[in-house]
Amino acid sequence: MIAPTQSSVLRNVAAPPIPAAREWARGYAGAAGPMIDLTQAVPGYPAHPDLLDRLAVAAGDPAAARYGDIAGDMALREALAADMTRTYAAPIAPADVAITAGCNLAFTMAMVALAGPGTSVLLPAPWYFNHQMACVMLGITPRALPCAVGAGFVPDPELAATLIDATTRAIVLVTPNNPTGAIYPPETIARFAELCRARGLFLVLDETYRDFLPADARPHDLFADPSWRDTVVQLYSFSKSYCIPGHRLGAIAAGPAVMGELAKVLDTFQICPPRAGQAVLSWAIGALRGWRADNRDLMAGRAAVCRASLAQLPGWRIDALGAYFAYVRLPESAPDAISVAARLAGEFGLACLPGPFFGPGQDRHLRLAFANVEALAIASIPARLRLLAG
């Protein structure tokens, strides 16, 4: 029997990082206390009870079992466009918005529409691993846009300009950033938009964690200029803001030229997004605005506890912190990040992701997704890290 040949492309794609990290924790015997899982960016609290009640009803509606529009149900597109108009103080129309089956799929479909095999895109590095993985799967070269520790991991438009070549189709920005938590200033985002316009590139702006910006922060002013539709593609996720990652709903905002091509991708990759969640979110966007604000403040409190807790540890340093994440530098005396992460999970019940999962040159960092757990568990992190030093 001759075995069939599998995809050669996927051989160049890393294994899923979070299951790999959780495998290290399988041998943990509980000596240091309950497992603290800081591997995955999920909100450590449930969805609003009214949202859950409505989801149960919507799931039982026969209409939710039928196909919907490939770009998403109009009620949710209208609600999201209105929310964006309010957030950015700029007019966004339902035609500018498409709903997707999660933000990871939104990114992948955007790459299909904007780039393609043999092209390249610039990713801020350290990068979000699923962005890098999706590009490799699609035959797109993910090229690192190094983000310096000294700049708080905020990317530099001038450096980006030197990295653009004839194959480049887009620059990707992620703010607040995964994995570092860095928040890009609106002025920096504007400079990247100017660079992309000047060089004929798309600016892909992943704002999955937008709703966890500080209360007084404005994300950016790109949408105030109607010409944004020519070059800007924005990605958004409902998973974190509404605590429904299992319902897989995200969104893309773009102009008509991109939307026209994207329609082909939407019809092929998803046919339509999950419908029960769409029906409920069209209500939740307006009705739960205050609840979202409360959760933003809750996350800011957890971030403050994380900062204060790690400040107790000589040699450990938070190089960036924001939204759901702390990007922590190891002490000089510690071994490499993969060794540290494996030992923390297996021996001391603290599961996190090592920097190399987010690209080369990250051997001295760990990502702590502190949103997953309550403040008391965050405050206990130093005790686990002290065990590492013996």
Closest CA to 119 of 160, 161, 169, 165: 169
Residue type at position 275:
R
Q: What does the pLDDT profile of the chain (390 residues) look like in tens digits?
A: 887 877 888 888 989 999 999 999 998 999 999 999 999 999 989 999 999 999 999 999 999 999 999 999 999 999 999 999 999 999 999 999 999 999 999 999 999 999 999 999 999 999 999 999 999 999 999 999 999 999 999 999 999 999 999 999 999 999 999 999 999 999 999 999 999 999 999 999 999 999 999 988 889 999 999 999 999 999 999 999 999 999 999 999 999 999 999 999 999 999 999 999 999 999 999 999 999 999 999 999 999 999 999 999 999 999 999 999 999 999 999 999 999 999 999 999 999 999 999 999 999 999 999 999 999 999 999 999 999 876
In eight-state DSSP terms, residue 125 is: E
Domain 63-287 has CATH 3.40.640.10: yes
As a whole number of angstroms, the distance between CA 98 and CA 250 comes to 9
Closest CA to 21 of 4, 38, 5, 7: 38
Q: Do domains 10-46+291-388 and 63-287 have the same CATH topology?
A: no
- Helix, strand, coil proportions of the chain in percent (round to 5)? 50, 15, 35
Closest CA to 198 of 158, 235, 233: 158
In eight-state DSSP terms, residue 315 is: T
pTM of the model: 0.96
CATH classification number, 10-46+291-388, choose in 3.40.50.300, 3.90.1150.10, 3.40.50.2300, 3.30.70.260: 3.90.1150.10
Contact 102, 249 (CB under 8 A): yes
Contact 172, 122 (CB under 8 A): yes
The residue ranges of every structural domain in the chain are 10-46+291-388, 63-287
Contact 34, 286 (CB under 8 A): no
Q: How far is CA 255 from the centre of its chain?
A: 22
